[in-house]
Chains A and B, each alone.
Chain A
Amino acid sequence: MAGKVILLDFWPSMFGMRCRIALALKGIQYEYKEEDLRNKSDLLLQMNPIHKKIPVLVHDGKPVCESLIILHYIDETWPDKCPLLPSDPYQRAQARFWADYVDKKFYDLGRKVWTTKGEEQEMGKKELIGSIKLLEGELGDKPFFGGEKLGFVDIALVPFTTWFHAYEVCGSFSIEAQCPKLMAWTKRCLEIECVSKSLADPHKVCDFVLQLKKALGIE
C-alpha cells in the first residue's frame, strides 16, 4: 500500500510503542518523529487538534489517532502480512475486550503507583497486581495472548512492562516476584526482534519517571 507513513511519538510512551511494534511486524517503512510534549510541534497540533496527544499515525497526509485505533488501521490497511487480530469474529471480540481492559486499568493504576504515596499508593499497587493476575489467568498455558503467535493483546500490553521497573522503584515492591507468569510472557515477547527493538529501555524509563516526579514536585 503506497504512501508515506509518519509516526508522531514520544520515546517512553507505551501507546507509541504499540504502534512501533505493529509497524515493525508488518514491515512498513515509516518516518519516526519524536515529539517534545512540553513543546508540541505544529504538525502534532494540526494532526490531532482535539486531543493534542501522541501517538499519531500520518498516512498519506491523513492522521489516525488513539493507539488501538491505529493498530486496527494498520491491520486493515496492510492485511497480507502478519495479521494482528484473529480472523474469527468471536476471537476478535475477545482480543478487543482484553485490549480495552488493559487500556482501562494499566495506565491509571500505574500512574497511581508512581505519583502517590501512603494508602493511595498501596491501593494502587494491590489493584495493579490484581489486574496483572487476571491477565495471567486469561493467558493460561498459551505462549502468547494471541495463541502460538503474538497478537493484538500482546501488542497492547507488552509496552506497559517497560514501566514496571519504574513502578517497582516508586512503590518499593516487586512485580516480578508476584507475577512470574507475566514475566515469563514478557521474556518470550522480547525474544521477538520487532518487539525488542520497539520497546524503550526500562532503566531509561525509570530515570525519566524519577525526573518527571521531581519536575512535577511529587516526592
Chain B
Amino acid sequence: MGEELKLLGVWGSPYSRRVEIALKLKGVKYEYSEEDIFHNKSASLLKYNPVHKKVPVLVHNGKPIVESQVILEYIDETWKDNPILPRDPYERAMARFWAKFVDEKCAPALWKSLMGAGPEREKAHEEAHELLNTLEGELKGKKFFGGESVGFVDIMANFVGYWVGVLEEAVGVDVLTEDKFPVLCKWAEEFRNCPVIKENLPPRDRMVAYFRDQRETITTFYKNKA
C-alpha cells in the first residue's frame, strides 16, 4: 500500500506495548524506534509529541497520533480487519468506560500500592483492592473483557495482566492474589498466553531487574509527572 508506519516506544512501557499488540492483531507492518524516555528524548519524539513529550507515538505517513487509547481507536478505524472495539454503539460505550476505568483508576492505584511509600502506599493498597474487585465483577464469566477474544479493554488492561505481576516480584509485595481475585488472575493468565500478546511481552527477568534497579529513577520521574 506504500504506507509508512513508525512507532516510537519504550520496551518496558505498557502504553507502547498496547499499540504493538493492536498493530500485530491487525497484521500491520511497522517500524519500531526505541526511545530513551528518561534521559534523552529524541528530536523525533519532541517534534511529533510536543504537548506531552511521551511515548507511544504512532507516525502514519508522516502524521503523528499520540495517547495510547486514541492510537488504538485510530488503528481500529484505519485497518478494519480483526476489530478491537465492538460494533454496537452501546457496547462500544461500555468498552470505552471500562478502558478508562482500568487506565485512570486501577493502574495508578496499583502503581502507587506497589511503588509508593508510607501511608500513601497503604491508602493506595486499599483503593486498589476495591477497584480490582469491581474489575473482577465486570469479567462475569467471560474469558476476556472482549468476550471470546481479546478486545479493547483487554489491551488497555495489559498493565493489570502482566506488569502488576512483574512489579510484585520486583518489590516483594502482593496485590493481585489468586485467593482474593481468582477470576482476574485467570483472565491475566489467559491474556498472557494469547499468541499475539505472548510474543509481545517484554522479557520478565529483564523487567524485574529493571524495576528493581530503576525504582528510584522511575518513582521520581512519575512524582514529577503528576
Contact = CB atoms under 8 A, between A and B. Distances in A.
Interface residues of A, number: 21
Contacts, number: 55
Interface residues of B, number: 22
B96 A90 contact: no
B100 interface: yes
Interface in A85-106: 89-90, 92-93, 96-97, 100-101
Interface residues of A: mostly helix, strand, loop or mixed? helix
A76 B78 CA distance: 17
B89 A93 contact: no
Given A89-B74, A90-B74, A69 B96 contact: yes
Interface string B58-72: 001001011101110
Which residue, B51, B70, B73, B78, has most C-beta atoms of chain A within 10 A?
B70
Contact of B70 (A72, A100, A134): A100
A96 B100 contact: no
A66 B97 contact: yes
Interface string A153-173: 000000000000000000000
Interface in A24-54: 50
Nearest to A95: B70
Nearest to B94: A64
Interface of B: 51, 60, 63, 65-67, 69-71, 73-74, 77-78, 89-90, 92-93, 96-97, 100-101, 134
A64 B100 CA distance: 13
A73 B70 CA distance: 16
Contacts of B70: 93, 96-97, 100
Contacts of A73: 89-90, 92-93
Contact of A93 (B71, B96, B134): B71
Given A64-B93, A70-B93, A73-B92, 16 more contacts: A50-B134, A62-B90, A64-B90, A64-B97, A66-B97, A69-B100, A73-B93, A76-B89, A89-B78, A93-B71, A93-B73, A93-B74, A96-B67, A97-B66, A100-B67, A100-B69
Contacts of B77: 89, 92
A134 B73 contact: no
